[in-house]
Structure 1
Amino acid sequence: MRMSTWIRQHLAALRALLVLTVVTGIVYPVAVFAVAQLPGLRGKAEGSLLERDGKVVGSSLIGQSFTDADGTALPRYFQSRPSAAGDGYDPMSTSASNLGPEDIVDTSERTSLLTDICTRSREIGAREGVDGRRAFCTPGGVGAVLAVIGPRSADGEVEHPADVVSVNELCPATPFLAEYRGVRVRCAVPGEVYSRGRFVPIAGDVPADPAVPADAVTAGGSGLDPHISPEYAAVQIARVAAARRVSVDEVRALVGAHTSGRDLGFLGEPRVDVLALNLDLDRRFPLRG
Structure 2
Amino acid sequence: MERLPSWLRQHLAALRAVAVLTVLLGLAYPLVTTGVAQVLFNEHANGSIVQAGGKDVGSALIGQSFTDADGNPVRTYFQSRPSAAGDGYDPTSSGASNLGPEDVVDVLAAPGTEGKESLLTRVCARSKAIGELEGVSGARPYCTPDGVGAVLKVFPGRAVSVNQACPAVPFVAAYQGLPVECARPGEDYAAGRTVPVRGDVRAVPVPADAVTASGSGLDPHISVAYAELQAPRVARERGLPPDRVRELIGAHTTGRALGFIGEPAVNVLDLNLALDRP
Give 1:126-165 correspondences, 5 Å limit.
126-150=132-156, 162-165=157-160
For residues 13 and 180 of structure 1, what CA distance do their matches in structure 2 show? 74
Equivalent in the alignment of 2:43: 43
Question: The residue matched to 1:196 in structure 2 has which SS?
Answer: coil
| 1:19 to 1:137, Cα distance in 2 relative to 1, 3 A | same
For residues 135 and 38 of structure 2, what CA distance do their matches in structure 1 show? 47
Query: Is 1:169 the counterpart of 2:198 in the alignment?
Result: no
Deviation at 1:265, TM superposition (A): 0.8
Deviation at 1:190, TM superposition (A): 1.8
Give 1:1-289 correspondences, 5 Å limit.
2-3=3-4, 12-39=13-40, 41-107=41-107, 108-150=114-156, 162-207=157-202, 209-284=203-278
The aligned length equals 271
Deviation at 1:183, TM superposition (A): 2.0
For residues 5 and 267 of structure 1, what CA distance do their matches in structure 2 show? 58
Task: Look up the equivalent residue of 2:97 and give its one-letter code.
Answer: S
In the alignment, structure 2 segments of 5+ residues that lack a partner are 108-113
Question: The residue matched to 1:147 in structure 2 has which SS?
Answer: strand
Question: The residue matched to 1:200 in structure 2 has which SS?
Answer: strand
Deviation at 1:197, TM superposition (A): 1.2
TM-score normalized by structure 1? 0.89
For residues 198 and 19 of structure 1, what CA distance do their matches in structure 2 show? 64
In the alignment, structure 1 segments of 5+ residues that lack a partner are 151-161, 285-289
For residues 272 and 234 of structure 2, what CA distance do their matches in structure 1 show? 10
Over aligned residue pairs, what C-alpha RMSD do you find?
Answer: 1.7
Deviation at 1:20, TM superposition (A): 2.6
Alignment deviations for residues 91-115 of structure 1 (CA, whole Å, 9 cap, x no partner): 1111111101111111052111101
Alignment deviations for residues 59-89 of structure 1 (CA, whole Å, 9 cap, x no partner): 1111110000000000011100100111111
Deviation at 1:191, TM superposition (A): 1.6
Task: Look up the equivalent residue of 1:49 and give its one-letter code.
Answer: I
